[in-house]
């Protein structure tokens, strides 16, 4: 099992290239960057984790810019969006951005995607909140066509374009893995329908630990005609306990992600040093 890192990169956090080098040196397999284009002051949508929305949500940098800096500073570290809000992005331009980052990183990009919780933010982008899940699926299907076909076209309810030519194509074939974020059961169903992996949060208000649902997720995949081995699980939320990490590993979890505060090196590096020892013990 692998261990990744995530940070809301801001002007008061570690730089992405700085954290990426530190992560690679200590044996972490991946670095993830979240996305929020903005946070409307109306704040009609409650934060799913409860309480006040942390300041870093307002301040986070663009994930693709951050991850490009991280990729250029490293050689083997995977870089991923955790998650990219595809319902707020044009699919043609996003497909080019993904392919460009995959090319520049030498095939090290993980395309974590999600459909969002902040109604106000989503609607500011012209997206209807209630239909965002279907919109996301169509945009991902359209991007797959762009990545894999020399003259792609797509015709759906929300996304529609005639044959085009667009390069570069991704280094990873057929394309970078589309790892679908979301809780159980709805996010799990979306991952099975159109994903190459599932990226749930460790805990949500309606369940204490997503690990309890992993057998059901795999059964759902089989019933849908998907091979569970083709849907690896990345859990967003790593417990700093060797036995807990072993339990995730024994469940067949591919990766757990440690979410860091948006802080400088003096706060973050001692945490990474502790985790480096756990990574060595896991093998």
Q: Encode pLDDT of 184-234 as tens digits.
A: 999 999 999 999 999 999 998 889 999 999 999 999 999 999 999 999 999
Extents of the domains making up the chain = 2-282
pLDDT at 47: 87
Give the tens place of pLDDT for each residue, 22-69. Answer: 999 999 999 999 999 999 998 888 888 878 899 999 999 999 999 999
Q: What's the confidence (pLDDT) of residue 233?
A: 98
Q: Whole-prediction pTM value?
A: 0.96
Q: CA-CA distances (angstroms) from residue 143 to 55, 94, 137, 194? A: 32, 8, 10, 12
Q: What is the pLDDT of residue 43?
A: 80
Q: Name the percent of the chain lying above pLDDT 90.
A: 94
SS3 assignment, position 80: strand
Question: 2-282 is classed in which CATH architecture?
Answer: Alpha-Beta Barrel (3.20)
What percent of the chain has pLDDT above 70? 100
Q: Taking 90 as the threshold, does the pLDDT of residue 269 lie above it?
A: yes
Measured in whole angstroms, how far is the alpha carbon of residue 125 from the centre of its chain? 20
128-164 pLDDT, tens digit each: 999 999 999 999 999 999 999 999 999 999 999 999 9
* End-to-end alpha carbon distance in the chain: 9
- Interatomic CA distance for residues 130 and 119, integer angstroms: 9
How many CA atoms lie less than 13 Å away from 51 in the CB half-sphere? 3
Enter the tokens of residue 266.
């003096």
Residue 25: partners with Cβ closer than 8 Å, 6 or more residues away: none
Residue (of 5, 22, 3) closest to 265 by Cα position: 22
Distance CA 30, CA 237 (A): 14
pLDDT at 128: 96
Other beta carbons within 10 Å of 138: 19
The least confident of 20-29, 35-44, 73-82, 86-95 is 35-44
Tell me what pLDDT residue 248 has: 97
Contact 103/55 with Cβ under 8 angstroms? no
**Do 108 and 23 touch, CB atoms closer than 8 A?**
no
């Amino acid at each position: 099992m692998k261990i990744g890192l995530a940070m809301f990169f801001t002007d008061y956090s570690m730089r992405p290239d700085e954290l990426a080098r530190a992560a690679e040196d200590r044996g972490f397999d991946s670095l993830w960057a979240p996305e929020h284009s903005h946070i409307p002051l109306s704040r009609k949508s409650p934060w799913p984790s409860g309480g006040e929305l942390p300041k870093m949500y307002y301040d986070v940098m663009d994930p693709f810019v951050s991850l490009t800096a991280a990729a250029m500073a490293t050689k083997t570290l995977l870089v991923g969006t955790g998650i990219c809000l595809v319902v707020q992005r044009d699919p043609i331009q996003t497909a080019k951005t993904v392919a460009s980052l995959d090319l520049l990183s030498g095939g090290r990009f993980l395309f974590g995607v999600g459909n969002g919780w902040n109604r106000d933010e989503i609607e500011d982008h012209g997206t209807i909140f209630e239909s965002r899940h279907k919109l996301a699926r169509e945009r991902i299907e359209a991007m797959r066509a762009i990545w894999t076909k020399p003259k792609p076209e797509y015709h759906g309810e929300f996304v529609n374009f005639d044959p085009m030519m667009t390069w570069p194509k991704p280094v990873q074939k057929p394309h970078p893995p589309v790892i679908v974020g979301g809780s159980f059961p709805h996010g799990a169903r979306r991952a099975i329908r159109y994903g190459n992996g599932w990226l749930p949060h460790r805990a949500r208000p309606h369940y204490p630990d997503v690990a309890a649902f992993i057998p059901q997720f795999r059964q759902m995949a089989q019933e849908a005609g998907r091979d569970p081995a083709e849907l690896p699980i990345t859990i967003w939320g790593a417990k700093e306990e060797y036995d807990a990490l072993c339990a995730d590993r024994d469940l067949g979890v591919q990766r757990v992600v440690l979410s860091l505060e948006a802080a400088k090196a003096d706060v973050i590096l001692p945490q990474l040093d502790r985790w480096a020892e756990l990574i060595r013990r896991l093998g």
